Amino acid sequence: MTTFQTIAVIGLGYIGLPTAAILATNGLDVIGVDVNQRTVDAVNDGRVPFVEPDLGVHVAGAVSQGRLKATTGTPAADAYIVAVPTPFKADKGADLSYIEAAARGIAPVLQGGELIILESTSPPGATRHLGEYIVSLRPDLSLDGANGKPAILLAHCPERVLPGRVMIELVTNDRIVGGITRRAAELAKDLYSVFCQGEILITDDVTAEMAKLVENSYRDVNIAFANELSVISDRLGINVWELIRLANHHPRVDILQPGPGVGGHCIAVDPWFIVAAAPAESRLIRTARTVNDEKPSWVVQQVLEASAKLAGDSEIAVLGLAFKANIDDLRESPAIDIAHAIAEALPATHINVAEPHIEALPERLQRRDNVRLIALEEAVGRSALVVVLVDHDAVRALPPEVLAGKLLVDTRGVFSA
């Protein structure tokens, strides 16, 4: 049993909405806050404005039981969970403006004693910055009860759920809870234990912030290794998928899979927060980022070399735009950059994009006359060169015979492994 009853979740995106829904289906009264009226309306109708397995059932159930509602203004609550974006700025430092905007909404409704949890992925020091920013707006409050001023309790509890498995991982993953004070961490643990069946580990705020960044950097460095192997293998004329499969038979080797680059708004972003915090020391982390960022241009080069072998009126199929398999999320997707670059480099060639998870092309691609979104089988059927960018199940399900006689650039090893 938790001591909390009313929770405000600020930011109803890929993390905030699932968190709001799971708290509500576990019996708490949850008010979701979002600046986007369409998102607010969708949630109040029991709908989810993006694709995530099982989330729809939770949101519809919580709304119909009256436990979850959404609004654009921040209400008074026992606890606040801030789950807003933290993109990076041009200098790769973190943009904390969304966190500050959330703070401006929360500050006027506080009474003291509330728990404020930052879930957004954050550079070291962001949780303290949030707390100090709120106290600067509300000088009658404090972070530690000093001078007899009522304390607000600040904690960082990074989300670690994998898109596509959010509703499972919210419940089963272990969580790290870092408090500015021990009391804040303990209260945050109390709140998360409402739905989290994993271990909830207590630490300080900065270690919790770094833990999240380190997890994603670990993944980025390992994907960079796989991507570098794919470029080396091409130079040496060997099949990288076979190479990795064989090497992974070693009991202590577990190489990840190469791809067209690293997408999503986490793994391609978070390592920069470490680099910005310790530029001279973050050599491997920075290089991995560069290796992964350069992979899309290498893929474009492969496609252009292959296209030079085609007859003049040939068409090209681009399979997948999402940043990874079986989701509709196009954020920071290298596939979009690659499709765009191919279309730009070959303005006279029809580019047949197939992405089963979307209804319309993203704006950047819509603007190019030679790009259209069509069904998977048709895209492959019409094209002499097939470029596989995402290993969606639908792409994997294509019978290999449909590729007979066609050129192939397979960045995911769907047909080449």
Q: Which spans of this chain sit near ligand SAJ (rule: CB under 6 A)?
A: 121, 159-163, 215-216, 219, 223, 226, 256-257, 259, 262-264, 266-267, 323-324
Q: What is the DSSP letter of 260?
A: S
How many C-beta atoms surround the C-beta of residue 20 within 10 A? 32
Instruction: Tell me whether residue 50 or residue 75 sits nearer to ligand SAJ (CB atom).
Output: 50
Instruction: Tell me whether residue 138 or residue 160 sits nearer to ligand SAJ (CB atom).
Output: 160
Locus of tokens 């190469």:
258
- Known active-site residue 69: no
d(CA 170, CA 18): 8
Instruction: Tell me whether residue 196 or residue 267 sits nearer to ligand SAJ (CB atom).
Output: 267
Q: Which of 266, 295, 309, 406 is catalytic?
A: 266
Q: Which of 189, 212, 295, 324 is catalytic?
A: 212
Least spacing, CB of residue 226 vs ligand SAJ, in Å? 6
Q: List C-alpha distances in Å: 352 to 61, 323, 355.
A: 40, 18, 10
Instruction: Tell me whether residue 161 or residue 365 sits nearer to ligand SAJ (CB atom).
Output: 161
CB-facing half-sphere around the CA of 236: CA atoms within 13 A: 10
- Known active-site residue 324: no
Least spacing, CB of residue 376 vs ligand SAJ, in Å? 19
Q: Which residues pair with 148 in a beta bridge?
A: none
Q: List C-alpha distances in Å: 212 to 126, 132, 239, 259, 415.
A: 13, 22, 34, 23, 34
How many C-beta atoms surround the C-beta of residue 161 within 10 A? 19
Q: What is the DSSP letter of 74?
A: P
Instruction: Tell me whether residue 27 or residue 225 sits nearer to ligand SAJ (CB atom).
Output: 225
Least spacing, CB of residue 259 vs ligand SAJ, in Å? 3
Least spacing, CB of residue 227 vs ligand SAJ, in Å? 7
Sequence-separated (6 or more) residues with CB below 8 Å from residue 134: 103, 106, 107, 110, 116, 141, 152
Least spacing, CB of residue 44 vs ligand SAJ, in Å? 26
Would you name the residues annotated as active-site residues? 212, 266
